[in-house]
Amino acid sequence: MKWDPRRYLTYADERGRPFFDLLARVNAVDPTTVVDLGCGPGNLTATLAERWPGARIHGVDSSPEMIAAAPDAERVTFAVADLRAWLDDAEPVDVLLSNATLQWVDGHLDLLPRLATRVRPGGWLAFQVPGNFVEPSHAICTELAAEPQYAAHLAGIAVPAAHDPADYYRVLAGQGMRVDAWETTYLHVLHGPDAVFDWVSGTGARPTIQALPDELREEFVAEFKARLRAAYPDDGGGVLLPFRRVFAVAHRSGEAQ
C-alpha cells in the first residue's frame, strides 16, 4: 500500500492542529534527542527543530513516498523504517513522539511498555490517535467493504483502531510514568463536493480503496462518495466533520533533560 503525501497534505492545517496540541503538554526543557515515529511527510517533524533548538530531531516512517517528500531542515534527519523495527534497535531518547500513527499498529496498547523503555529517565512519551472510527466517515467505508463483491478482495486489509484515554493511562501509569491522557473532538469545516471523501481517502480509507481491483475501485468510490455526501450535507457554509482524537503524554521520573 502506497501513501500519497500530496493528498495527505490537502488538509495540512487541520491535521497539524492535534500535533501542536499534543506538543503543548510536553514540558521537556532542553532535550538532546527527539524522535517522531510515523512522521509522514515530515512537515510537522521539521517544526520540532524550532521548539528545541539544541536537539537532534529524527523522523521515522514506513512509507518511502512520505519520507521522499520530507523537507530539508537543519538538525532534522529522516529514515524509512517500520516502527517495531525501530524499537528493536533504538537507544533511549529524551522525547518520543507519535502523531496519528499507532492506530495502524495491531495491538499497539500492548506495545506501549516497549515504547516506554525507549524513553530516558526524565524523558517524555507523547502520542495522539484518531478516536472517531464509529463515525459515518469510517463506518460507511467498513459497511461498504463488507458487501460481497468487495469483501473478497479485502481480507487482511489494514484497518485503524484506537482505545480510550483511560486505557492508555492505565498502561503507561503501570510503567511508573506520570500520565496525562485526554480526548478532544475537533469540528473541521471542509469545502468541496466530496470534502469528507478527500479527507478519508488520504488516511483511514486509503488501504481499502487501494486494495480493490480497478474495475471495482471506481464503483466503490462512487458509492462511498454518495453515502458520505448524504451523511455530511453541505448547508452552503461547508461540510462539518466532527473528529475525535485521543491523546497521552507520559513523563518518566529522573534527572530532567
pLDDT of amino acid 257: 42
Which tens digit of pLDDT belongs to each residue from 21-53? 999 999 999 999 999 999 999 999 999 999 999
Distance from C-alpha of 101 to C-alpha of 130, rounded to nearest angstrom = 9
Answer for the pair 145, 209: CB distance below 8 angstroms, yes or no: no
Model pLDDT, residue 13: 81
Of 133, 136, 143, 153, the residue nearest 246 (C-alpha): 133
pLDDT interval class at 201 (50, 70, 90): confident
The mean of the pLDDT values for the chain is 92
What angle in degrees, to the nearest 10, is found between the helix axes of 108-117 and 165-173? 40
pLDDT at 64 over 90: yes
Query: What would the mean pLDDT of 192-211 be, rounded to a whole number?
Result: 88
Q: What is the pLDDT of residue 204?
A: 76
Nearest to 109 by CA among 158, 172, 194, 61: 172
Cell numbers for 132: 472517531
Phi-psi region at 56: left, alpha or beta (left = phi > 0; alpha = psi -120 to 50): beta
The answer to whether residues 199 and 137 touch, using CB atoms and an 8 Å cutoff, is yes
| Mean pLDDT value of segment 153-169 | 92
The dihedrals phi and psi of 25, each to the nearest 5 degrees, come to -100, 5
For the sheet containing 119-130, what is the strand order? 76-80, 56-61, 33-37, 93-99, 119-130, 239-252, 177-190
Side-chain half-sphere exposure of 75, counting CA atoms within 13 A: 15
The CATH architecture of the domain made up of 5-252 is 3-Layer(aba) Sandwich (3.40)
Alpha-carbon distance of 217 to 208, in angstroms, equals 9
Alpha helices in the chain (DSSP H): 5-8, 12-23, 48-51, 64-68, 83-89, 108-117, 136-145, 148-151, 165-173, 195-200, 206-211, 214-231
Name 205's Cβ contacts closer than 8 Å, sequence gap at least 6: 138, 141, 197, 224
Q: What is the mean pLDDT of residues 188-211?
A: 89
- Domains of the chain by residue range: 5-252
246 touches 109 (CB < 8 A): no
Q: Higher model confidence: residue 10 or residue 45?
A: 45
| Residues paired with residue 186 on neighbouring β-strands, in sequence order | 243
